[in-house]
Amino acid sequence: RTPFGLASMAEKKASGEPIVMVTAYDFPSAQVAEEAGVDVVLVGDSGAMTVLGYPSTVPATVEEMLMLCSAVRRGLSSPLLVGDLPFGSYEVSDEQAVRTAQRFVKEAGCDAVKLERGGTSIQRAKAIVESGIPVMGHIGLTPQTATALGGYKSQGRDAVRARELVADAEGLEAAGCFSIVFEAIPSQLTDVIMKRLSLPVIGIGAGPSTDGQVLVFHDLLGMYAGHAAKFVKRYAEIRGQMIAGVTAYTDDVRNGRYPQPEHEYTMRDEEVVKLRE
């Protein structure tokens, strides 16, 4: 496969071909994304919940994200690899943001980074872009600051908040972001913002008119036991299959059905005789 780069994103937008993005957090999920032919892989800080077991994305550390990103890097060659900057790793200053972004590129092999919100994040995005690292924005429902938003709620359903999101999207484009994720916003608002932007927009619960879609790996495959948002479509029920597999193994061991002769190593008879001498 030919590598999917920033230019490929713009080309897909221009031709109207949807951009496909999925999250991944480790070597096997990266290989699955690669083989399935997705365009962009995001090592989301959703991994804090899906693979690290935290109750939200807030506790994710840079070190944890770098470990997940490195594992994904080793399983991926063609798709664009975007790493999520975790909460607290970029908000303090432009310098902090650039230093963190550099670690994602140098230590984990990310092609680009993603950060959340408009407002002060617009200046941070600009600083990272100016340092030579491509940045993806993320507006609407931003889980890192969900508490301040009043919970995990769709955003921009009233005109005041909707106008804020329009300004945030325009600010992120002006800052030089190569793409923006719209999460959990009304489709009508997506349409309004899309008309004002020229960069490719990836939606998750933002309706059909974005340039592409993203879903969390564990949500679309049914691997996560927690709550699933309205926008999630399940394409498989892997968790059930995993439990069934481990339950069958447990039963086999407890009932003496595993291992069978075909799973055994053997010695030749004369070696057994010598061993017993």
Closest approach of Na ion to the CB of residue 204, in Å: 10
One character per residue 119-158, x = contact with ligand KIV (rule: CB under 6 A): -------------------x--------------------
Query: Is 211 an interacting residue with respect to Na ion (CB under 5 A)?
Result: no
Is 46 annotated for ligand binding? Answer: yes
Q: Give the C-alpha separation, 47 to 158, whole Å.
A: 31
Is 111 annotated for ligand binding? Answer: no
Rule CB under 6 A: choose which of 12, 20, 22, 23 binds ligand KIV: 23
- Contact segment (CB under 5 A) with Na ion among 66-74, 77-85, 87-95, 261-269 equals 77-85
Is 17 annotated for ligand binding? Answer: no
- Integer-rounded Cα radius of gyration of the chain: 22
As a three-state string, the secondary structure of 118-186 is CCHHHHHHHHHHHCCCCEEEEEECCHHHCCCCCCCCCCCCCHHHHHHHHHHHHHHHHCCCCEEEEECCC
Read off the amino acid at residue 158. Answer: D
Rule CB under 6 A: choose which of 26, 34, 39, 45 binds ligand KIV: 45
183 is catalytic: yes
Is 91 annotated for ligand binding? Answer: no
Q: To which H or E segment does residue 116 belong?
A: none
Cis peptide bond upstream of 59, omega within 30: no
CA dist list (Å): 164 to 43, 83, 155, 158, 234: 27, 26, 10, 10, 32
Q: How many CA atoms lie within 13 A of 33 on its CB side?
A: 34
Q: Which token pair is 246?
A: 């481990």
Is 114 annotated for ligand binding? Answer: yes
Q: Which is nearer to ligand KIV, 189 or 204 (CB)?
A: 204
Query: Is 216 an interacting residue with respect to ligand KIV (CB under 6 A)?
Result: yes
Query: Is 204 an interacting residue with respect to ligand KIV (CB under 6 A)?
Result: yes
Rule CB under 5 A: choose which of 39, 45, 111, 219 binds Na ion: 45
Closest approach of ligand KIV to the CB of residue 139, in Å: 11
Q: Exposure of 5 by Cβ count < 10 A (0-12 exposed, 13-18 middle, 19+ buried)?
A: middle
Q: What angle do CA 129, 134, 137 make, to 5 degrees?
A: 90
One character per residue 25-44, x = contact with Na ion (rule: CB under 5 A): -------------------x
Closest approach of ligand KIV to the CB of residue 71, in Å: 16
Query: Is 75 an interacting residue with respect to Na ion (CB under 5 A)?
Result: no
Q: Which residue has the tokens 């394409």?
A: 235
Q: Which token pair is 19?
A: 């951009």
Q: Which residues bind ligand KIV (CB under 6 A)?
A: 23, 42, 44-46, 84, 138, 181, 204, 214, 216
Q: Which residues are catalytic?
A: 183
